[in-house]
Every structure is written in structure tokens, then in C-alpha cells.
Amino acid sequence: MHLYCSGTGSPTVVFDSGLSDSYLSWYKVQPEVAQFTRACSYDRAGLGWSEPSPKLRNSGVFAEELHALLHTAGIHAPFLLVGHSMGGYDVRIFASRFRSEVTGMVLVDATHPDYANLLPELRTGLESWRNQLKRQELLMPFGLPRLLGWCGNGPSEIQAELRAIECNVPRLRESIAETLSTWDESAAQVRASGSLGNLPLIVISEDPAKNTPAFLSVFESGQEQLASLSSNSVRMTAIGSGHQIQRERPDLVIQAIKNIFETTEGRPLK
């Protein structure tokens, strides 16, 4: 598995990307965090520069694989966990299983496990996207997805690397496998993970103006419930940003990490 660390200090900030995303998701945030502590991003097995894993693809497995990766690489606790979107599932399960090693958490527009049950449109959209990935998997050996611009798109400064790590069959297979477990298997695992006690927690949510009106009330309720996971939490709204807050408002993600970095567990966040 691919692990990229920069900076020095403690706690180590560990970034977990959203569904189908690589460590490049954090390219605007990690260099700034590395100015004041160690920061590590990684690729889940089968994504980015990581080889596929023979294990089941669900958030419980992802949390165990991340824990093994960090310890095998000699990256020691305490960890400050940052999870975007579906990566929020992974870091919540990680914290529940390895609580003594976690000193804080930032959830970046993290998914709530009940969203799909309350909004069937989300499940339908994910199934449609999975079907697109399956078509790309069939065409990838012929180079058509790359030629047609279906993969590897993004900011010019990282586009070359995005094409290298996204326009390939293993990434598509991993993405398909992750989408199969997202709404049910992984959601059930994260529901069972329980509360975070008094763990310092900051929940950053996208700008309501960027959300679909039909989804807004369910989304807002879900984000409030995520903030209630800890008795020591703060919720922030990323004005002007959609779902990709770490790219559209990296300043807020950096600020949230710094806020937790500067506090101690049990002391209220400011």
C-alpha cells in the first residue's frame, strides 16, 4: 500500500479520502499541515499507487488495513484522523477500534450512514455511477476512457498523475467494489461503531446553497447528528464550497486540523 508522509511532529494527521479517491485529494491541505506536524495521506488498496487487496472491500476492512499500514511503516500514535465523504466511515471505525491511538477527528462533508435510506435518489445515483464504471472497465484495455476524457480529469497541476493512477482497471475494480458495500455493509458497520465520547471533533459541511434543495433538510440533519457523536465538537460550514471542501476551501480544513492540534482531549474546542 502507498503511504505518503511529510513534516514532523505529533500527533500525526492521517487523511482518508472519499469513495474512489486517491491521496491526491489532499494535495492542497497536506503541505500546509506538514508545516506544523507530521501529515500522512494514503491510497486504499486498489486505488492510486496501492496494489489490490484480496480482502473484502468495506469500511471495517479499510480501517484495519490503514492501522496495519501505519504500524508497519513505523508511524506511531497518537493520530488525528481526517475523513472526507465515505472516508468518514473509515475514520469513525478506526477510532472505535483503536480509541487509545486517536487524539481527534475532522469529518469533511462526511457521509451519514442513513442518507441512502432517507434519500433513495442517492442510492439510484450510486448504482448509475457503478454501471458507468463497469462500462469503463470493459473499455479501459483499449484506452478509450483516457482518450474520451472519462478518467484522470482534474486540476492542471496534478492532471498528469491523476491520469496515471485513475485510468487503469485496478482502480475501476476497487471503485466498483467500494460502491457495492457503501450504503449497506459499510453503513451498518459505522452505525455499530457508537459515539466518540469526548474526542475533539470538528464537522465541516458544504455550503447549503450548493446542495440540492430536495436533499438539504436530510443533509443538514445528518451533519448535525455527526457533530453530536462527541460531547466536544464544533460544526463549521464551508461557505462557497460544494462537496470537495478540501479542494474548494482547503483553508477551512487546515484551520480545523490546527484547532484540534492546539487543544487537548477533554478541553472544549473553540
In-domain check, residue 215? yes
Q: Give the model confidence (pLDDT) of 78-98 as tens digits.
A: 999 999 999 999 999 999 999
In-domain check, residue 122? no
Instruction: Extract the C-alpha cell encoding 172.
Output: 475501476
In-domain check, residue 34? yes
Cis (ω within 30 of 0) for the bond into 78?
A: yes
Q: Give the model confidence (pLDDT) of 177-226 as tens digits.
A: 888 887 889 999 999 999 999 999 999 999 999 888 878 889 999 999 99
In-domain check, residue 257? yes
> 240 is in which domain, residue-wise?
3-114+188-261
Mean pLDDT of the chain: 92
What is the CATH classification number for the domain harbouring 226?
Answer: 3.40.50.1820
Number of domains in the chain: 1
In-domain check, residue 139? no
Share of the chain above pLDDT 70, in %: 98
- Predicted structure pTM score: 0.93
More confident residue, 263 or 62: 62
The answer to whether 98 and 70 have CB atoms below 8 angstroms apart is no
Q: Give the model confidence (pLDDT) of 116-135 as tens digits.
A: 888 888 888 888 888 888 88
In-domain check, residue 67? yes
In-domain check, residue 22? yes
Residue 234 pLDDT:
96
Instruction: Extract the C-alpha cell encoding 130.
Output: 457503478
